[in-house]
Amino acid sequence: MMSRSKTQHKAGVNAVLVAVVVLVLAGSLGCAVEGSRRPRNTATGEAHGDNWAVIVSTSMYWYNYRHTSNALVFYHTVKRLGIPDSNILLFLGEDHACNPRNRRPASIYSSAALQPSTAVYDEEIEVDFRGTEVTADTFIRVMTGRVSAKLPASKQLRSGPDSNIFVFMTGHGGVDFLKFRDTHVISGAELGDMFYTMHEKRRYKQVLFILETCHSESMLEHIRSPNILSIGSSSKHEDSYSRSSSPELGVMMVDEFTGASMPFLSQLTTQSRATAADYFAHVRRSRLTSHPVIRATTFPRSPAKVLLTDFLASTPVIWPLDDEIQQHLPTLALTTA
């Protein structure tokens, strides 16, 4: 017969062993749960895997404040609708929030009202590429996966053949080109080749591409790869225009296309049934100075059958950790004798 002290010691050892097993199992299950957090859109009938967003402002200089604002409007939209920062790549060619000419330091607004409701810059923003990092070469390499092995995973587009990708680009451009920080350009041919490479490397299932720049249609005409739906803020021979001037900051706050998009985007939820055609019709009704265009020549469905939430929203699939522990945890009996 064991003494009382030995019995207590054995019970204590068993309790410690069970605790260790629980922690180890919970840790392994925790990894499984985390790995299953692939943003999937369960609100639509179009089956696909994870969602990604690539949002790019290509401009530098204080007077291009509006381009950063444009990008951040779409950044906040996809983030609000469930796409996590781990699946968002944000390129900002200029740090307007911390520009010495900014009379509202660490702030960016989408309206001349400069109210909290129109603030689009906050401490939770994760900028992946900023300033001189924003080049045409870097953008193309990230999109096609031709990056250095030293580039952090958080700065890589880790998409695959089941991924839907939303791409928004804004900046200054002309016929068949978009400028990057006034020092580089991406041509229409390079843009088309980039998407072709992505298709050949099976880096997407479908793409929604929105380009807000002058003569944007001239760039979209070069995109011939399958399953890409494109929207441009202007026709081939038109400029795009800005709106909402701030006397305090001395800059335009947002471009017309993004400004017209904001009321529509703000109404979206993860369960919304609004289509790309609905969105485009809303923008066209807004009577912009330019004439937005939509191209679905390589897309398998009509824009009227493409839900915006297939690209702008995601619903994480999460396993209940407690249920998983109960399912996998072996029955362990504690003995006191």
Whole-angstrom distance, CA of residue 49 vs CA of residue 163 = 5
Which is the catalytic residue, given 67, 76, 96, 214?
A: 214
193 Cβ neighbours under 8 A, 6+ residues apart: none
3-state secondary structure 72-100: HHHHHHHHHCCCCHHHEEEEECCCHHHCC
Catalytic (active site) residue 31? no
Whole-angstrom distance, CA of residue 126 vs CA of residue 124 = 6
Q: How far is CA 69 from CA 40, 82, 204, 243, 317, in A?
A: 27, 20, 27, 12, 31
The SS3 of residue 159 is coil
* Segment holding 315, helix H or strand E: strand 315-316
31 Cβ neighbours under 8 A, 6+ residues apart: none
Which is the catalytic residue, given 76, 96, 172, 215?
A: 172
Instruction: Tell me the sheet residues that pair with 57.
Output: 92, 170
Catalytic (active site) residue 214? yes
Write out the two tokens for 257: 């296309």
Known catalytic residues are 172, 214
